[in-house]
Amino acid sequence: MKNLTVLRLLICLIIAGIAGTVTAADTISVPRGSHAFDIMPFVLPWTGTSNPAALSGRSFGNLSLAQAGYSWSDDDIRMIQQPVQSSSYNAVTKGFMNFGKVSLFGSFGYSNSGFKGVNYNGTMMFDTHNPYLVGDTVSARQSREQFDMEGKVSYLLNDRVSIAVGAEYLSAVGAKQKDPRNKNTVSSLRVTPGITYDLGKTKVGLSGSVYTTSNEMSYRVEGNWNQNLFVFLGLGYYRQEVNISSYSQWYTGKGYAGAIQASRKGDDLYMIAEVSYDHYTEEARSGSSFRLIDGITETNDISLSGMLRIERGQAYHILTLKGSLKAVSGDEILQRSYKINAGTYSYDSLATVSWIENKQMITDLGGEVKYTRLVYDSDYNIDLEFGGALQAGYYSTEHFPVQTYGFYNIFNLGGSLFARKLLKTGRLLITPGLEAGYRMNLGSDISYVVQPLSIPAMVYHDYYISKANIISASASVRIEMPFSQNKFVKSLFLIPQGRYAAAPGSEAGDMSGYLIDVVAGLTF
């Protein structure tokens, strides 16, 4: 494993190349140092789309970064199947490079994470719309080691047309060291081709992707007692696997996506927009050779993003828009495997007891409008950055038939303000930042019918969390030292930050949570 990690790191560093000041023919200048990666979607807008062909067509300098960090969080404001505490050691390297008509991007990431206080979830999927999760009620530390890799290659066919392909790969292994102990082997692969056509002031693009996911989970009991597992069916309803000494579940998914992009530039104005569609199907399988289907989740996601940038000398006004509509439907399936004796031989057969389509339905609608003002200094550093955002979200989950099971829905509105200012002390560039936000509930409703196999406390907890009024604040500081004369290392940086959130007086009680994150690295 160590040799594989070193090899992946060296490959990504080779792709990353040697850094310098980055400029682009159709964009504003990218600031030197680590801040360039954070604001790249503003200054190089096509890199913020899903189209890998965005790498071509610019006088794009080389830019690379390597960093390592640690994060720790303790959060009461969470869904019931998410961990109470999380910690992670992580390392990332990424970079851009040009070879004539060929443009490259590569990244490699490693993380070693720990989770505490996880109930009803042994899948290590903590942010999912899949209702068919398997879990237990034994709170113990779960650990996960993960590798992420991404690469993009874009080729400029001529002055107008660029073609490209990108690939993303994830591999992770996780486990819990307490009965009933789960082991998870997770992987995913996405391949994305793309093309852009430059008409001068107008540019259009088309991209698409296909992807697969896999999460193989095995429960095992090493003590001399058996355990029970919950196999959830949505909205707190479940069936049980009782007195198990071992149990296996496999979440296998596949999907495809497509997107179109268009941009328009003027003397001091730039506009870009992307519309995308994503279809994903995931099956929860169990039994011998995972023959039994426990549930099928189908997700359709339509999203829109756009940006308007206006240049005023060394200052830029940036307005961004994001919106998405995600619809999830779950088929609840009950299958049984039984043995058939046929004279001198026997074989296993599969019987479908019930197959209920659209048993669980989820609608997740959200949007955000954000304004940012950037002001450059004479050295192309971000001297001042401030702005604000408004978010709106609607979430609905229903378990059919509604008359005998239930539903709940939530409508929230939120807002935030942020500011960052550059301070210079000798060779050091110090950029402190503050952000404050508030989310309020504008409407909600719930109806829940208790069944023999249901956990109403689980549903009401998630409902109260989803509708809670939340106030949040965060502070960060970016400390960076540039080396103008160094031919390899361009800068060293350190970025500590913290976030605190509170939901006082909520129906789930007085809740709070905080996050601490520290990152250190270099650009080269």
Q: What is the pLDDT of residue 25?
A: 44
Mean pLDDT of the chain: 91
Q: What is the structure's pLDDT at 361? A: 97
Cα-flanking dihedrals φ and ψ of residue 310, to 5°? -120, 130
Inform me whether the pLDDT recorded for 16 exceeds 80.
no
Distance CA 150, CA 164 (A): 14
pTM exceeding 0.85: yes
Nearest Cα to 280, choosing from 257, 303, 258? 257
Find tokens 């250190």 and name the residue.
Answer: 520
- Nearest Cα neighbor of 362 from 425, 412, 424, 297 is 297
**Whether pLDDT at 41 is above 60:** yes
Average pLDDT (309-331) is: 96
Tell me what pLDDT residue 338 has.
82
Question: Is 27's pLDDT higher than 60?
Answer: no
Query: Between the CA atoms of 171, 177, 178 and 180, what dihedral angle is there, to the nearest 10 degrees?
Result: 30
| pLDDT tens readout for residues 59-90 | 557 889 999 999 999 999 999 999 999 999 99
pLDDT of residue 28: 62
Interatomic CA distance for residues 331 and 348, integer angstroms = 24
| Higher pLDDT among residues 101 and 213, named by residue | 213
Give the rounded percent of residues in the chain with a pLDDT score beyond 70.
93
307, 265 contact by CB (below 8 A)? no
**Contact of 117 with 82, CB cutoff 8 Å:** no
Q: What is the mean pLDDT of residues 221-229?
A: 85
> Which of the 8 DSSP states describes residue 81?
T
**CA–CA dist 174, 217 (Å, integer):** 9
The domain ranges of the chain are 2-523
> The tokens of 504 are what?
């006082």
Q: What is the per-residue pLDDT for 486?
A: 67
pLDDT at residue number 201: 94
Q: What is the CB neighbour count within 10 angstroms for residue 387?
A: 18
Instruction: Identify the pLDDT of residue 344.
Output: 80
At 245 the three-state DSSP class reads coil
Contact 95, 15 (CB under 8 A): yes
Distance (Å, rounded) from C-alpha 468 to C-alpha 512? Answer: 11
Q: What is the mean pLDDT of the segment spanning 507-517?
A: 96
3-class DSSP state of 40: helix
Average pLDDT over residues 472-486: 91
3-state secondary structure of 44: coil
d(CA 291, CA 299): 22
